[in-house]
Amino acid sequence: MKIAIIVPLFPPKWLGGTEIATWNIAKYLAGRGHEVHVITTWDTGLQRESLEDGFHVHRLRYLKARFLGPLLFSLKALLALRKIKPDIVHAQSMLPGLCALIAKKVLSKPYLLSELAMVYFPSLLQNQILRLALRNADAVIALTEDMKNEIRKICRRDIYVLPNGIDLERFEGLLKDEMRAKLQVKTDERLVIFVGRFRPEKGVEYLIKAMEIISQKDRSIRLVLVGEGPEEKNLKSLTEQLKLKGCVEFVGQIPNERVPEYMVASDVFVLPSLSEGFPIVILEAMASGLPIVATKVTGLPEIVKDGENGLLVEPRNPQQIAEKVLLLFEDNELREKISRNNKKEAKKYSWETIVQSLEDIYRSYL
């Protein structure tokens, strides 16, 4: 099968959930013998055409203009698709959905639409474009049941539910003591970790405010923030304002292959998001055996079962975050139970299983 996947951003520069998921989908599909072409935007210093992990990458220049940029990208993607001649087009999010819709009308190619976390906060224009893309798609995939329900508010149609996956091999053989020594973590330090983009919807400010409460109870607990983004300056200012510089460390963005090292070296993972699709970072925490504290938003309660493989809190609530983190450090039995359950739960999300199901969906429309 010849498969074209369209995604706005892509590694190595962009390491968000959609980007990492797309990389793995392309890699595992190629590993199953398919000819895979990823169409994405070009980043400085990268080749326009390349072969990476067995799949082809086509990087197109993108004009940063509100309306003209997406339109030109769609036309360039159409030209790329005409050259590639795929059997099916997989659009990862709304803008690629527009590209795929045009390709269906012009080239008569079926398309599949997924990675639709933006259904939780679309603008009026995005809502109209998304409705059009959803209505014309041959198949639509939601990452969670909650996302499926949100999508059906925009367009009532059949929707598959297929979560993101994780490459479990990346976490095999990593020992906590070795990772802590490698990262120069002191033996008496206990680490709380967040990994992700610093955007308002990630709610990192509430985690930092929770650290003010935590530090008053236990100064051995330190917060490690891995990532970067538009909120970074504000978050650093908040850290200084709350006099937490010794308790909060901004690591910056790290290569994706190093994320397991930081996860395994840590003790608790916190995701204080105000909205989420299906964060791969949750699966990475699970594969590392980390107890999770996450907010009760969108589809997160489908992934994190309260008291079983994590603890849930209300969004925008530093007090609850602090209480749950302290509880995990105080209750060794609970922490170890959640750790065991998470390692077991992570096996359900192997990319081999997810991509096989995705392949079945492709075949049903060819």
Q: What is the pLDDT of residues 344-358, one digit of tens each?
A: 999 999 999 999 999
Please, are residues 69 and 42 in contact by the beta-carbon 8 Å criterion? no
In this structure, which topology does domain 168-348 adopt according to CATH? Rossmann fold (3.40.50)
Structural domain 2-165+350-364, CATH architecture: 3-Layer(aba) Sandwich (3.40)
Give the predicted TM-score (pTM) of the model. Answer: 0.89
**CATH 3.40.50.2000 domain locations along the chain:** 2-165+350-364, 168-348
Q: Read out DSSP for 28-92? A: HHHHTT-EEEEEEE--TTS-SEEEETTEEEEEE-----TTHHHHHHHHHHHHHHHHH--SEEEEE
Residue 65 pLDDT: 81
Q: What is the pLDDT of residues 247-306, one digit of tens each?
A: 999 999 999 899 999 999 999 999 999 999 899 999 999 999 999 999 999 999 999 999
